Amino acid sequence: MNKYDLAIKNKLGSYYPVKSMQTKSIEDINMNKRTVTGVLNTSYYIDQDNDMILPGAVAKSLNENGPKSQAPDNIKYQIDHSLKANDSIGRFDVLVERQQNGVHDLYFEGFLPPGISDGHLIKYQTGVYTQHSIGFQYVDITIAEKDSDVDDYAFNWEKYYPLAINPEAAEERNFFFVVKEYKLFEGSVVTFGSNKLTGYLGSKSANKETYLLDFQSRLDNIHKLNKNKKQFDLEILQLKQIINEMYTNEPSVKDTLMQTPFIIKDTQNKSFIENWHKSINK
């Protein structure tokens, strides 16, 4: 087995990873039109997860579930990755991959309806909201490695390293993940940035006991989502992701190549979530 095979398998086996923009990602706020425009993600940037997202990586997802699609459940506009209906900021009217000033990014235009989103609009205007994040799932990834013995990895390095916005990140590690495709579930405004879903449970400094209480509360209330299959399925993915993140230790970049996370669907015995899922659908 190639030394990177496990790392790729781990990423593809994650249920609901999140990525937060590390810089202010708002371009315009129009209080009269009640619109916010900005960026959810940037291509060719090697992020904290050592990922470089390629332009076009989310094209299929946008075509199937974007604002212009005919899907009954479009990509959601949320706060802190909460899937609750009352944690919806509004709606995405535009969600497209674009190239502007030499930068490839995922651009959005969001509408915040009167009444229910008044507070959110004010928080944008006053600078309380400054960052955005995506909830997604890896579909197709590979490796770029400097001076690699694997021809494909060496080719990827020669092809994508010169395009990196921050090539020093690649030089520091001598490899990075190339994300060719991902499925976008939602885009969130976030009160603080984190690349861990557990980072959005409770307060920023919350301990595992707080996470556990939140997790139990979500289990207790998930039956209320049973009539909305899309939201129900996403909630299940989030719960599985939270278990993984709480079970595993915080990995370093180097540990990513070695660590085997707790993957619910790969256990010999059916997980309690899967059994519970069946029980409430009887």
Determine the residue type at 273.
I
- Number of structural domains the chain divides into: 1
Rounded Cα distance, 46 and 18, in Å: 15
Q: Alpha helices, DSSP H only, in the chain?
A: 5-12, 59-65, 118-125, 151-160, 167-173, 208-221, 229-247, 272-280
User: Is residue 91 within 8 Å of residue 109, measured between CB atoms?
Assistant: no
pLDDT computed for residue 152 by the predictor: 96
Determine the residue type at 209.
E
User: Is residue 152 within 8 Å of residue 13, measured between CB atoms?
Assistant: no
Q: How many residues does the chain have?
A: 282
pLDDT computed for residue 123 by the predictor: 96
Q: For the chain, what percent of residues have pLDDT higher than 70?
A: 83
pLDDT computed for residue 249 by the predictor: 56
pLDDT computed for residue 212 by the predictor: 75
Rounded Cα distance, 63 and 54, in Å: 17
Provide the token pair at 38.
Answer: 């900005």
Provide the token pair at 55.
Answer: 């332009």
Distance, first Cα to last Cα, the chain? 42
Low-confidence ranges of the chain (pLDDT < 50): 203-204, 250-253, 258-270, 272-273, 276-277, 279-282
Q: What are phi and psi of 100, to 5 degrees?
A: -140, 125
Enclosing domain of residue 10: 5-280
Q: What's the pTM value of the predicted model, to 2 decimals?
A: 0.84
Provide the token pair at 280.
Answer: 């409430």
Q: What is the pLDDT of residues 154-172, one digit of tens each?
A: 999 999 999 999 999 999 9
Q: What is the pLDDT of residues 111-155, one digit of tens each?
A: 999 998 999 999 999 999 999 999 999 999 999 999 999 999 999
